[in-house]
Amino acid sequence: MARPVAGWAGAEIAGLPEWIRPQLTQLVDQAPDGPQWLHEIKFDGYRMHARLDRGAVRLLTRTGLDWTHKYPAIAAAMSSTLGARQAYLDGELCGLGPDGITSFSVIQLASESGNAAALVFFLFDLLYLDGENLCERPVIERKARLAHLLSNVGSPLHYSDHQIGHGRAFHEKACAMSLEGVVSKRTDAAYAPGNRGLWVKVKCLHREEFVVVGWTDPQGRRPYLGALLLAYYDPQGRLVYAGRAGAGIKQAELERLWRKLQPLAVSEMPLDLPPPRDSRFGSPLVLSRVHWVRPELVAEVKYLTWTADNLLRQVVYEGLREDKPATEVRREAPHPTPG
């Protein structure tokens, strides 16, 4: 009798899994070197699994939600071009800007407008193929099988290539090209659902997700709202204030945010401690004019740095992340680079 595989939902070794909990990455201070590591470009999009079963495709988020209906063109490409009866793949669904670099704001706009032409599905792992469970195989072997599977497949499906060794030089090159960063993986490692450590990441840009805990009133001619108040959960589960995001929000997005925030409004502050009224960077915060909300929305932002008083500086809003629960948002701190 086949035994269940840890981390799989409703699956056995011989059967096509319904959903596999994704393997995760850990932030480190620099990319590892050495021939035991392979390095890939880090993309800025939605982590997505694709499940193919005799022509039927399901696109599954990192929490197992079925988003096939949101991306019918991607699902159709998976169904018609893979040349496999059954397959389970891991990748990142991205939007490409005019410069060819992945952009989270582009994928969000494409998702809402139905413009599939701007979407690309970068595939970096193959976990199951035509009755064969590949999860226990080394990642370098899984990637070779994936490259062969995608060898005659074109846009919007793309193989995410890699380099063996020379991780720090690879990271420097990625940053010089204004890319998001790099992901490094042990070449000999099996797929480990939920694990952080066998896959590590180094960023080029300061980009992170935060929980939206409120908004401020607009000033001047700006409509709807002034800025979003951001926070993250500490290890004790407390919401800690991180700063404000007001730049980078176009008028249509201001209206969309305002409508999403209205039903979440609450009278009591969700933070463990109130935010400081004054900061060396930015205008004073008038707490009596803050509109608090239940901590359910997750916003992705770019920022210059953290200040000495643990507040974000020069924050630019990128978009809302509907693929990540607010309860999972933590402040990322780099770990030492593994050997």
What CATH number is attached to the domain comprising 293? 2.40.50.140
Q: Count of H helices and E strands in the chain?
A: 5, 22
279 and 307 Cβ atoms separated by less than 8 Å: yes
Domain boundary among 203, 231, 248: 203
Residue 246 lies inside a defined structural domain of this protein: yes
In this prediction the pTM is 0.82
Residue 309 lies in domain:
207-328
What pLDDT, on the 0 to 100 scale, is given for residue 98?
77
Per the structure, how many domains does the chain have?
2
CA distance 310 to 287: 19
Identify the DSSP state of 150: T
What pLDDT, on the 0 to 100 scale, is given for residue 112?
58
Question: Is there a single domain that holds both residue 170 and residue 276?
Answer: no
What pLDDT, on the 0 to 100 scale, is given for residue 6?
42
Question: Is there a single domain that holds both residue 198 and residue 211?
Answer: no
CA distance 307 to 330: 17
Question: What amino acid occupies position 275?
Answer: P
Question: Is there a single domain that holds both residue 189 and residue 218?
Answer: no
CA distance 276 to 284: 9
CB proximity list for 132: less than 8 A, separation 6 or greater: none
Question: Is there a single domain that holds both residue 212 and residue 246?
Answer: yes
User: CA 182, 187, 190, 196: dihedral to nearest 10 degrees?
Assistant: -30
User: Which residues are designated catalytic?
Assistant: 42
Domain boundary among 203, 223, 243: 203
Question: Is there a single domain that holds both residue 176 and residue 35?
Answer: yes
Residue 2 lies inside a defined structural domain of this protein: no
pLDDT along the chain (339 residues), means of 10: 41 75 94 96 94 96 94 93 95 86 75 69 97 96 97 91 96 91 96 92 91 93 94 95 93 94 96 81 75 96 87 92 92 83
Helix (H) or strand (E) holding 167: helix 167-176
User: What's 157's domain CATH number?
Assistant: 3.30.470.30
